[in-house]
A and B are shown apart, each in its own frame.
Chain A
């Protein structure tokens, strides 16, 4: 009796379709990924049951941690315009290179007198640099207030929009620092702003 021969099939599969799908997904994830801005200090944001997401653009964020306040605003053009206006106000002339460098800086926290030196640093060194935070004294030296005001002006001038303000604070931050920030905001008649929180894992009901 002749044996039935099983025809051997090749085990190699056509990978083309799989490859297509994989790269499609890859492209999707790359394009949706938003580069995360690294906070200069460790900020552990508190949790809440609020479900309203932080707006993607047109946002000014004040990061509060370790008693220091850091400033960041969305949009390279707004950052640049803010720097120019601050330069005029404080009689500091920023060169075009410095303006470009500053517009690529997502978050910073140095007094304006030190800003030139800070911008001159290499990106690696900037990460190492211990930023002292933006001065927010109640007296004449309230740079934080000026930064906020100039950024709002720049946003109105460039996009004709009202800048939204968010406060991103650390869990352990003592209240006086937060109070300073709130006072600066209310002094500018910003009575509505946001506290940035994370979603509580399971809402306690």
Chain B
């Protein structure tokens, strides 16, 4: 392998004085050490957790589309993303049903979404439509969290919409803005 046969063939006596040949065998230990050091370095620096891409679809802004179907208020749920990681939700139109404040995550938003989704499904026979309305005080994380809950709870149709003034008032009244 790493050594060559350096022994001369016959053991002829007499004749020329041969210079002693050094073995060509190299000590590879240091080289292996170095290689493993570099392997360790590259293994530790490679990012194992690749970033993920969450699909977002926005409603078309084109005003020419006239064949939009109005969604019944009883089927639409509105989420108002407020400050301090709070979210308010209500079914139907703003002001008619009192909003409730909840938090993101398993016991907050997810529970509400699952319960209300089933209620809407039973009472109207159709899936629930969720409108996400982030206020200016909410953060990007809130939006991603809300969208993630939609994915987890299998909400069929959702939209990110700008918040309106009466809804802002609701948030302000409850101290979430």
Contacts and interface: CB of A to CB of B under 8 A. Distances in A.
Interface of A: 12, 14-16, 18-19, 22-23, 25-26, 29-30, 32-34, 36, 45-46, 48-55, 64, 166-179, 182, 185-187, 189, 191-199, 204
A199 B52 contact: yes
A174 B56 CA distance: 18
A157 to B, nearest CB: 25
13 contacts: A22-B35, A26-B38, A26-B39, A34-B46, A52-B52, A54-B51, A175-B81, A175-B134, A179-B134, A182-B58, A192-B55, A196-B52, A199-B49
B145 A46 contact: yes
Contacts, number: 159
Contacts of B50: 53-54
Interface in B30-64: 31-32, 35-36, 38-39, 42-43, 45-47, 49-62
Interface of B: 1-2, 27-29, 31-32, 35-36, 38-39, 42-43, 45-47, 49-62, 81, 105-106, 134-145, 147-148, 151-152, 160, 162
Contacts of B31: 15, 19
Contacts of A198: 49, 51-52
Contacts of B1: 14, 16
Contacts of B105: 204
A185 B144 contact: no
A197 B54 contact: yes
A18 B32 contact: yes
A48 B54 contact: yes
Contacts of B136: 174-176
**Residue from B52, B135, B136, B162 whose CB has the most chain A CB atoms within 10 Å:** B52
Given A22-B39, A55-B53, A195-B53, 7 more contacts: A49-B151, A52-B52, A54-B50, A171-B141, A174-B137, A192-B56, A195-B56
Contacts of B147: 48, 195
A29 B62 CA distance: 48
B12 to A, nearest CB: 29
Contact of B57 (A46, A172, A173, A192): A192
Given A48-B144, A49-B148, A173-B139, A32 B46 contact: yes
Contacts of B141: 46, 171-173
A194 B49 CA distance: 17
Nearest to B60: A191
Contacts of A51: 52
A51 B42 CA distance: 25
B11 to A, nearest CB: 24
Contact of A174 (B29, B52, B139): B139
A34 B51 CA distance: 13
A186 B58 CA distance: 7
Contacts of A171: 139-141
A171 B43 CA distance: 28
A77 B152 CA distance: 39
Contact of B148 (A30, A48, A177): A48
